[in-house]
């Protein structure tokens, strides 16, 4: 089950750049690595992730869908992924995964702040929404720190109760 959060402000988010990382648009040659990370991050069968990532990377009719990758410049490994889209003039972030080896280092917070700053430029919009799994309290903590809030109070109460 997932829910939508809305960024409660339009302040510029400048991530502290203490990492040797770069945020790039993913390319088709990243497909297998991204699909595997997506499957692991969301506990999905690899085929489900392959279909999701394939749809996002190869959606030629909708140039507004972008898959992003955060790359460690020392190892050139993809350490985080996300997708963005625009619908009804609103920016949506989804499919956010940080590789488990890089968790609890502040990279997730850095990634989301950097992604928000970049997509505001790419899409020329300030209104940002985020789709998240209702079961991810760690993700909710990070998103709340940035300023995301529930659109639906009932969903917020259900998550806190679980």
Categorize the per-residue pLDDT at 140 as very low, low, confident or very high, splitting at 50, 70 and 90.
confident
The residue with greater pLDDT, 61 or 14, is 14
**Nearest to residue 91, comparing CAs of 115, 114, 62, 120?**
120
pLDDT in tens, 24-42: 989 888 888 888 888 888 7
User: Cβ of 39: how many Cβ atoms within 10 Å?
Assistant: 19
In whole angstroms, give the CA distance from residue 62 to residue 59: 6
pLDDT at 127 over 50: yes
The closest of 67, 57, 52, 73 to 122, measured between CA atoms, is 67
Segment 83-108 mean pLDDT: 87
Provide the H-helix boundaries in the chain: 31-41, 46-57, 107-123, 137-146, 153-161
Cα 76 to Cα 72: distance, rounded to the nearest angstrom: 5
Chain-centre distance of CA 82, in angstroms?
Answer: 4
How far apart CA 40 and CA 14 sit, in angstroms, is: 29
Whether pLDDT at 61 is above 60: no
Q: With cut-offs at 50, 70 and 90, classify the pLDDT of residue 162.
A: very low
Answer whether 140's CB lies under 8 Å from 160's CB: no
Domains defined for the chain, CATH in brackets: 2-161 (3.40.630.30)
Q: Mean of the pLDDT values across residues 98-113?
A: 89
């Amino acid at each position: 089950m997932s829910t939508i959060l809305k960024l409660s402000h339009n302040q510029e988010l400048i991530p502290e750049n203490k990492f040797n990382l770069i945020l790039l648009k993913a390319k088709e040659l990243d497909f297998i690595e991204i699909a595997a990370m997506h499957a692991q991050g969301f506990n999905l069968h690899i085929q489900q992730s392959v279909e999701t990532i394939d749809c996002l990377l190869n959606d030629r009719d909708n140039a507004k869908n972008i898959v992003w990758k955060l790359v460690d410049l020392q190892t050139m490994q993809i350490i985080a992924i996300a997708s963005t889209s625009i619908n009804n003039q609103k920016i949506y972030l989804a499919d956010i995964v940080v590789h488990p080896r890089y968790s609890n280092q502040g990279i997730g917070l850095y990634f989301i702040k950097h992604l928000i700053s970049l997509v505001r430029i790419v899409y020329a919009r300030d209104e940002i929404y985020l789709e998240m799994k209702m079961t991810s309290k760690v993700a909710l903590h990070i998103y709340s720190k940035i300023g995301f809030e529930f659109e639906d109070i009932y969903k917020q109460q259900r998550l806190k109760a679980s």
